[in-house]
Amino acid sequence: MNLISKVRSIQTAQKRPSVLVIGDLMVDHYIWGSATRLSPEAPVPVVNVKKESTTLGGAGNVVQNLVALGANVAVAGVIGTDVSGKQLIEILESEGVKTATIIADHSRTTTVKTRVLVGSHQLVRVDREVTEAVSAELEEELLAGIIANIDGADIVLLSDYNKGLFAPGLTQRIIKIANERQKKVVIDPKGLNYEKYKGAYIIKPNRKELAEAAKTEKISNLADLENAAKTIFIQTGTDYLIVTLSEEGMAIITEKSSKLMPVKATEVFDVTGAGDTVIAVIAYFTALGLSVEEACELANHAAANVVRHVGSATTTVDEIIKDMEGY
């Protein structure tokens, strides 16, 4: 049975995997306007606001990708007790996502990235965030919620955006809890400390993130990838390292083998959020029992779909199949 037939049979059976997403939740706030003059106060454009919109960013974008694919999703994370936090919860709940394990902390601000755009040109980005590690009390509350939800999950996805949630101790406790319950852990990593991801099934850095974590000057070919990967395998013992390579596709690396998967995109308008789509698709199809290689093939086609759109986008299983049939 070829891959398209496999995916169609999964659709016919109406299988819906349950995914527990633990991650740095954030809000993406967009302000669109026009700019026809410079400010008399400083050499900067004056933007006349035409419209504003709010979407989910960070781990929230991963969640929306999973929902678009058809997964049942529960989310664990930390937000502030502010308007943006309430908005984030409302968006998630409107999409049928379980939010009981999202903890509101009065000492934190919900991460909000505000982008001011004129036409397709981004003038400035303003970030509101707290990146300190969460308190010991919050860690315990979060872990209790994760333990309560993990048995109902087919797979656990960690979406790390380096905003203070994934301190090494907490990250290791989460992975240990998942492994004890035979739940595969899939990670979108950030930062330089990959040892905290020890025990994960899949770790998915991009080329730049891998080079930084492996302390390698540059990665320009498969040999460089394999050398950098050795460092990560020593640190984490992960089963699979999946490296996204932007316009070159992705690489699947294990301790014994490596394979390059060329990009499927024919047009690239915006790569924003493509990494979130890739990790969501890999987790979704791995949870349904497909091999990692099959899941990556599908993720490559999914990424081809989303990079054709400006801004973070999602894709559906039908759209992935359509892209495969036309390739």
Cα–Cα dist 238/250, whole Å: 17
Largest CA distance in the chain: 67
Say what the pLDDT of residue 208 is: 93
Joined together, the tokens standing for residue 325 give 């049939």
Say what the pLDDT of residue 270 is: 45
Joined together, the tokens standing for residue 272 give 């924003």
Q: Name 213's Cβ contacts closer than 8 Å, sequence gap at least 6.
A: 189, 191, 192, 194, 205, 228, 231, 232
Say what the pLDDT of residue 293 is: 95
Joined together, the tokens standing for residue 275 give 């990494």
Cα–Cα dist 215/223, whole Å: 15
Residue spans of alpha helices (H) in 111-221: 136-150, 168-180, 207-213
Global pTM value: 0.93
Show the beta-strand stretches assigned E in the chain: 18-23, 25-38, 45-58, 72-80, 98-105, 111-118, 121-128, 155-159, 185-188, 202-203, 240-244, 250-253, 258-261
Cα–Cα dist 97/72, whole Å: 7
Say what the pLDDT of residue 314 is: 80
Q: So which residues are the catalytic ones?
A: 276
Say what the pLDDT of residue 236 is: 97
Query: pLDDT tens-digit profile of 248-288?
Result: 889 999 999 999 988 765 555 445 567 899 999 999 999 99
Show the beta-strand stretches assigned E in 106-256: 111-118, 121-128, 155-159, 185-188, 202-203, 240-244, 250-253
Q: Which amino acid is at 211?
A: A
Q: Which amino acid is at 274?
A: A
Element (DSSP H or E) covering residue 89: helix 83-94
Residues 279, 281, 287: CA angle, nearest 5 degrees = 100
Place of tokens 């106060």: 41
Region of 96 (left: φ > 0; alpha: ψ -120 to 50; beta: rest) is left
Write out residues in the chain with pLDDT < 50, as ranges.
269-270
Joined together, the tokens standing for residue 119 give 């036409």
- DSSP class of residue 246 equals G
Joined together, the tokens standing for residue 87 give 């908005």
Sign of the CA dihedral running 271, 273, 278, 284:
negative
Given 3-state DSSP classes, what are the helix, strand and coil percentages for the chain, each rounded to the nearest 5?
Answer: 40, 30, 30
Of the chain, the end-to-end C-alpha distance in Å amounts to 18
Joined together, the tokens standing for residue 108 give 């934190």
Cα–Cα dist 283/289, whole Å: 10
Is 300 in contact with 263 (CB distance < 8 Å)?
yes
Say what the pLDDT of residue 269 is: 45
Q: Which amino acid is at 180?
A: E
